[in-house]
Structure 1
Amino acid sequence: MYFWIANCSLAFLLCVFCAGIVIPKILLIAFRKHLFDLPDERKIHHCAVPRLGGIAFKPVVFFTIALLLGINMVLGHSEMLSEIGNDVRPLAFAFCSIMVLYLIGMADDLIGIRYRAKFVIQILCGVMLIAGGIYIDNLHGILGIHAIPLWLGYPLTILVVVFIINAINMIDGIDGLASGLCSIACLFYGLTFFMLHQHVYAMLAFATLGVLVPFFYYNVFGNAEHGRKIFMGDTGSLTVGMMLCLLSLKLIMCCPDDNTGNVHPMVLAFSPLLVPCSDVVRVYLHRVRNGKNPFLPDKNHIHHKLLALGMRQSNAMITIISVSIVFILFNILLALYLDVNWIVLGDILIWALANIWLTRRISAINKKL
């Protein structure tokens, strides 16, 4: 137990340290090469800000895991190698999918890529997860469905992968929001996998949390006018989104034991992603209802609604992250007493009613103006 606590802690701390060194260097390169995210009518920031922060994410996480594996071997500890060996197939395919999205995200941040091409790549990444043996094979009672056949599980997995990746990408609209929500998710997944004795996945979660912490600092507290502010860009949102896909789908396939109090697997897997996923569904439906392309950006996300109420960016970010934490904790608590379908229905109703209230408040404010 203490061995894995030490490794998970080191994974987190090494990623914090390495990302803290790399991100300022990325800022320096971005300013020297004039690689900026320029403001326009859809964006909230008013200064040119580099959006290459996500370039640090994947290399730092992979370097840290590889370094810790090497250190463990030098010290004569083979436990980490043994656990990686037991999951080498899913980890290999997952790392390949993250690498592909890393390259696509970098290309999009530098020269731009059509959303159709990104969808094709995301589908390919879903296929790679399936090839690694990570897929949805059981709905655990959602709508009364339990085990599902492969012909249904495979396309459902691809749909979920594309959905989660785009949900993380689209929620990245104000300072600290995407990184804050992903940090909460990674912390939760890390603790859950640790209790389930899936220590390599716990290390991946804590390592991802480690790179998000220094990025959050520069993204939220950095001064754009002094060249200290940075965005994660598609490189960051796509790779972190893929990591969360891996962790959530793996969690579905892990049977809870006494260490998690027999909490429903679907609640454990998707409660941390509830806010970005619920928001993207509402936004897509709103665009389709208004005859707009559901894949083109607008200003109808939950953070835009809070800003329209007069909230500052920081307050909107804190509010949404707090809501996500409340959803996670309440869903886990309710899962001990209620059927999962009632929890899903409750989450949908609460989210829908909250958005209806926000819309009416914004309309009332606009009428007064």
Structure 2
Amino acid sequence: MRAYLLVMLIAAAVTYLATPGARWVARRTNAISAVRARDVHLMPTPRLGGLAMLLGIVVAVVLASQMPFLEPVFATPQVLGIVGGAAIVCLLGWADDVWDLDWMTKLAGQILAAGFMALNQVQLTTLPTPGGLTIPSARLSLFVTILVVVVAMNAVNFVDGLDGLAAGIVAIGGTAFFLYTYSLTQQASPTDFASIATMVTAVLVGVCLGFLPHNFYPSHIFMGDSGSMVLGLVFAGAVISVTGQIDATVTDAVSGAQRAPLFIPLLLPLAVVLLPLLDMTLAVVRRLAAGKSPMAPDRMHLHHRMLALGHSHRRAVLILYVWTAVFAFGTVAFVEWRWQIVVSWLGVAIVVALVLTLGPLRTRGRFLDDDVASGTIPVAATVGASYPSSPTPDPKEQDVVRPDA
């Protein structure tokens, strides 16, 4: 555990120290989020935080490769596949932030990055279900892998709409996934706790924690496409790499309620990215129903709805953190405790989250009001409201693939 925590700390420190440099590069290359009529933020803000995240990932992985404890992790090219894929989408996001690429070019770049991971053995060959569902052909395996990675990248990008939202959600969900993969490694290899998924998730959580001080409201820099796509790809890589640790040959001997934990490898990744996936799904359905392109930007994302309920910028972000923690840690709890106990406490947690979301915090008191942080007088929160000095990522960062960017 100490080695993983050290890797996490290195990733956080490098990302935190490199972020001012990423702001400088963003200004020099004109990678700035301009203010448009449909935006929430009112001040142009640099958006190349992904460069600092990538540097944090690379440095942490290089130093981890020198640790004897983690040496078995680098016996296969999987780590290279994940880091290389992250570098591809980071450069792709940088190019889009500077030159405003069309949606086909961006989708092609995402497929290229996912394909690079698959060529380096980061590929789904089985689905982690009780009984182990094997993907029948190499071509279908490649297709499913690319689909999972591309969906993960775009899901994180869709939810990146308020200061600190995407980084915080990935950090919280990644922590839950880290605890699960570490526990799984302990059970699978009692004498060797080295795990690709655990190390990669530790790095992922570290870069998010290192970036958050710069990105939480009021933000000084956005992660941009270069950051959101990196987070989605790295998390997908960790999820795919852990499926190889599931021994499907022992699942047939388990029956009844004991089979519930066997679904965790499939359910936990979904729980971690539940909010991004829900936001992306609702956006696509909403736009298609309105006769628009599924990638056309709008102001009806989950975070916009939180503002419309009356929450401040910071309060909306923290409540969405709570929802992420409820589902991610609630799913992990099924591994350690009986399902009856977990369901009971999960019900209580959901009620608390609902009270925070729909309760008196929306309209009463000044708890976590934005003017406390920014020194400004907040404007009433509506779907079309703007907060003074509130640098919120523009819809371009939320919708990776769109025709009218």
Q: TM-score range by the shorter chain?
A: 0.7 to 0.9
Q: Does 1:149 align with 2:145?
A: no
Q: Does 1:185 align with 2:173?
A: yes
Residue deviations 1:116-136 (CA, integer Å, cap 9, x gap): 111111122222232223333
Aligned positions of 1:28-43 closer than 5 A? 28-31=24-27, 35-43=31-39
The Cα of 1:30 is off from its aligned counterpart by: 4.0
Q: Does 1:83 align with 2:73?
A: yes
In structure 2, the partner of 1:95 is: 83
Residue deviations 1:48-104 (CA, integer Å, cap 9, x gap): 11111111011221112212433x3xxxx3x4223311xx22222222211111111
In structure 2, the partner of 1:54 is: 50
Alpha-carbon distance in 1 for matches of 2:326, 2:31: 38
Assess if the C-alpha contact under 8 Å between 1:30 and 1:52 holds in 2: yes
Alpha-carbon distance in 2 for matches of 1:119, 1:28: 28
Assess if the C-alpha contact under 8 Å between 2:173 and 2:328 holds in 1: no
The Cα of 1:261 is off from its aligned counterpart by: 6.0
Q: Does 1:279 align with 2:279?
A: yes
Assess if the C-alpha contact under 8 Å between 1:54 and 1:237 holds in 2: yes
Assess if the C-alpha contact under 8 Å between 1:267 and 1:332 holds in 2: no
Alpha-carbon distance in 2 for matches of 1:172, 1:284: 16
Aligned positions of 1:322-333 closer than 5 A? 322-333=322-333
TM-score when scaled to structure 1? 0.79
Alpha-carbon distance in 2 for matches of 1:334, 1:83: 27
CA separation of 1:329/1:264 partners in 2, compared to 1, >3 Å: closer, same or farther?
Answer: same
**Runs of 5+ unmatched residues, structure 2:** 186-192, 251-257, 344-349, 359-381, 384-405
Alpha-carbon distance in 2 for matches of 1:323, 1:140: 25
Alpha-carbon distance in 1 for matches of 2:332, 2:295: 32
CA separation of 1:59/1:290 partners in 2, compared to 1, >3 Å: closer, same or farther?
Answer: same
The Cα of 1:147 is off from its aligned counterpart by: 2.5
CA separation of 1:107/1:205 partners in 2, compared to 1, >3 Å: closer, same or farther?
Answer: same
Alpha-carbon distance in 2 for matches of 1:119, 1:103: 13
Assess if the C-alpha contact under 8 Å between 2:275 and 2:324 holds in 1: yes
Alpha-carbon distance in 2 for matches of 1:33, 1:126: 27
In structure 2, the partner of 1:269 is: 269
In structure 2, the partner of 1:214 is: 210
The Cα of 1:140 is off from its aligned counterpart by: 4.3
Counterpart residue type for residue 8 of structure 2:
F
Alpha-carbon distance in 2 for matches of 1:59, 1:47: 27
Residue deviations 1:294-323 (CA, integer Å, cap 9, x gap): 122211211111111221111111111211
Counterpart residue type for residue 13 of structure 2:
F
The Cα of 1:239 is off from its aligned counterpart by: 1.0
Paired residue secondary structure (1:294): coil
Aligned positions of 1:165-244 closer than 5 A? 165-195=153-183, 196=185, 197-222=193-218, 229-244=220-235
User: How many residue pairs end up in the alignment?
Assistant: 329
In structure 2, the partner of 1:122 is: 110
| Greater displacement, 207-216 / 144-153 | 144-153
TM-score when scaled to structure 2? 0.73
Paired residue secondary structure (1:264): helix
Alpha-carbon distance in 2 for matches of 1:280, 1:32: 32
Q: Does 1:24 align with 2:27?
A: no
The Cα of 1:141 is off from its aligned counterpart by: 4.6
Residue deviations 1:179-219 (CA, integer Å, cap 9, x gap): 11111122122222222234343222222222211321111
In structure 2, the partner of 1:250 is: 241
Q: Structure 1 residue aligned with 2:40, among 25, 40, 44?
A: 44
**Runs of 5+ unmatched residues, structure 1:** 224-228, 344-349, 359-364
Assess if the C-alpha contact under 8 Å between 1:180 and 1:216 holds in 2: yes
Counterpart residue type for residue 288 of structure 1:
L
Alpha-carbon distance in 1 for matches of 2:294, 2:282: 11
Counterpart residue type for residue 26 of structure 1:
A
The Cα of 1:264 is off from its aligned counterpart by: 2.6
Counterpart residue type for residue 244 of structure 2:
M
Assess if the C-alpha contact under 8 Å between 2:57 and 2:204 holds in 1: yes
Residue deviations 1:114-164 (CA, integer Å, cap 9, x gap): 12111111122222232223333333459x993231243332222211111
Counterpart residue type for residue 296 of structure 2:
L
Paired residue secondary structure (1:311): coil
Alpha-carbon distance in 2 for matches of 1:67, 1:145: 35
Assess if the C-alpha contact under 8 Å between 1:249 and 1:269 holds in 2: no
CA separation of 1:201/1:333 partners in 2, compared to 1, >3 Å: closer, same or farther?
Answer: closer
Counterpart residue type for residue 123 of structure 2:
Y
Counterpart residue type for residue 102 of structure 2:
R
Q: Structure 2 residue aligned with 1:136, among 119, 124, 147?
A: 124
Q: Does 1:15 align with 2:14?
A: no
Residue deviations 1:22-71 (CA, integer Å, cap 9, x gap): 1123334545665421111222111111111111011221112212433x
Report which structure shows greater RCO (CA 8 Å, sep ≥6): 2
Alpha-carbon distance in 1 for matches of 2:240, 2:301: 26
In structure 2, the partner of 1:347 is: none
CA separation of 1:337/1:120 partners in 2, compared to 1, >3 Å: closer, same or farther?
Answer: farther
Alpha-carbon distance in 1 for matches of 2:140, 2:26: 45
Residue deviations 1:304-343 (CA, integer Å, cap 9, x gap): 11111221111111111211111123334457777xxxx9
Assess if the C-alpha contact under 8 Å between 1:164 and 1:245 holds in 2: yes
Counterpart residue type for residue 253 of structure 1:
G
The Cα of 1:21 is off from its aligned counterpart by: 1.6
> Which structure 1 residue ranges, 4+ long, deviate > 6 Å from structure 2?
335-338
CA separation of 1:201/1:32 partners in 2, compared to 1, >3 Å: closer, same or farther?
Answer: same
In structure 2, the partner of 1:226 is: none
